[in-house]
């Protein structure tokens, strides 16, 4: 039987109040900004920030990225070119059960 001990969430969306307010405070406070080599350039955890919920391009973020990337001289400034950093949060699963006032079923 699978019995996870931790919850891990890495996303650029972890900075938004709508996400933060529904998560346990201990989990939110664990957030660290990901940088290479832990940061992958191959997924939505980074590139999804350029899309609107309709699927259209978020022009404001796209234009900011283009402006910033022209100044990038190394991997660090390349990562900082993205409008929103990717945060990694990790915490014990027990804090979620406590936060949501529910029980573990295993």
Give 91's DSSP letter: E
Residue 30, domain extent: 1-34+85-106
Same domain, 100 and 71: no
pLDDT in tens, 11-29: 999 999 999 999 999 999 9
For residue 54, the cross-strand partners are none
Q: How many domains does the chain have?
A: 2
Same domain, 50 and 80: yes
Same domain, 76 and 95: no
pLDDT in tens, 48-91: 999 999 999 999 999 999 999 999 999 999 999 999 999 999 99
Same domain, 27 and 2: yes
Same domain, 4 and 24: yes
Q: Are 93 and 6 in contact (CB under 8 A)?
A: yes
Same domain, 45 and 56: yes
CA angle 72, 62, 54 (to 5 degrees): 150
Same domain, 14 and 46: no
Q: 11 by DSSP, 3-state: which?
A: strand
Number of other CB atoms surrounding residue 106 within 10 Å: 7
């Amino acid at each position: 039987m699978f019995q996870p001990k931790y919850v891990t969430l890495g996303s650029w969306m972890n900075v938004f109040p709508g996400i933060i307010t529904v998560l346990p405070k201990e989990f939110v406070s664990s957030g660290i900004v990901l940088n290479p080599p832990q940061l992958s350039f191959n997924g939505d955890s980074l590139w999804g920030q350029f899309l609107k919920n309709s699927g259209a391009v978020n022009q404001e973020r796209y234009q900011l990225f283009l402006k910033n990337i022209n100044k990038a001289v190394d991997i660090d400034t390349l990562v900082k070119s993205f409008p929103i950093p990717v945060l990694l949060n990790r915490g014990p699963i027990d804090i979620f059960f406590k936060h949501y006032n529910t029980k573990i079923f295993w």
